[in-house]
């Protein structure tokens, strides 16, 4: 497999989706074969999950975790692997760490969430756009999903920090301006690409 698999993580409202798309464009403009994708995916399970996210109540946490893991397997098989086989740089807006943090925030055992995601392809690089829960909730003007309340975002944030400390996520300061955050993400990615593609 010739491609490179990069994931962008962060709280809802951290600017993650906008930044992941801008990063893909910036890489393409610089001549890198980058493609954008996201989770929940555009597949059947992903669409079902998105619909449920705006309903009144969260699904039982174990069901939620299994649905996201199932969507991920489909996403990997139908989108990510084929793109990597074509030598693309795949930029995914959310991936396994979203399950560890969001489903972990519902009280599930992290090792169980990791186990049900063990067959999902390991990313080459995962970046965490760090914006605090208080700031993101202030920023979110849209209709909030079942995930977007302060106590939940605080728990999610805390678990993200755990993975930053473990070295699985590289932290990028998301509190800066849009262009500065993009430049920081771009610099991380280009620096990483140099290590894998000399």
Report residue 190 as tokens: 């280009």
Produce one character per residue of 146-168: b if its CB has 16 or more CB atoms within 10 Å, e if not: ebbeeebbebbbebbeebbeeeb
User: Exactly one of 140, 147, 154, 164 binds ligand TMP (CB under 6 A); which one?
Assistant: 147
Output the smallest distance, CB 9 to ligand TMP, in A. 9
Q: Which is nearer to ligand TMP, 103 or 126 (CB)?
A: 103
Mark residues 50-89: x for contact with ligand TMP by CB under 6 A, - for none: ---x--------------x---------------------
Give CA–CA dist 20/185, Å, rounded.
Answer: 9
Specify whether the CB–CB gap between 128 and 160 falls below 8 A.
yes
Q: Which is nearer to ligand TMP, 3 or 10 (CB)?
A: 10
Q: Which is nearer to ligand TMP, 18 or 33 (CB)?
A: 18
Output the smallest distance, CB 158 to ligand TMP, in A. 15
Helix axes 44-53, 61-75, angle to 10 degrees: 140
39 binds ligand TMP (CB under 6 A): yes
């Amino acid at each position: 497999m010739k491609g490179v698999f990069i994931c962008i993580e962060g709280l809802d409202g951290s600017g993650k989706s906008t930044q992941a798309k801008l990063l893909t464009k910036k890489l393409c403009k610089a001549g890198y074969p980058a493609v954008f994708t996201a989770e929940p995916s555009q597949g059947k399970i992903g669409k079902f999950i998105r619909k449920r996210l705006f309903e009144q109540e969260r699904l039982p946490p174990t069901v939620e975790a299994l649905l996201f893991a199932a969507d991920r397997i489909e996403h990997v098989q139908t989108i990510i692997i084929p793109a990597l086989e074509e030598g693309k740089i795949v930029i995914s807006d959310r991936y396994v760490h979203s399950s560890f943090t969001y489903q972990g925030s519902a009280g599930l055992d992290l090792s169980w969430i990791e186990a049900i995601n063990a067959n999902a392809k390991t990313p080459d690089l995962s970046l965490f756009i760090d914006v605090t829960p208080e700031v993101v909730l202030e920023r979110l003007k849209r209709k909030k999903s079942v995930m977007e309340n302060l106590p939940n975002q605080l728990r999610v944030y805390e678990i993200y920090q755990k993975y930053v400390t473990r070295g699985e996520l590289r932290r990028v300061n998301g509190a800066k301006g849009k262009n500065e955050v993009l430049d920081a993400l771009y610099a991380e990615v280009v620096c990483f690409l140099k290590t894998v593609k000399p």
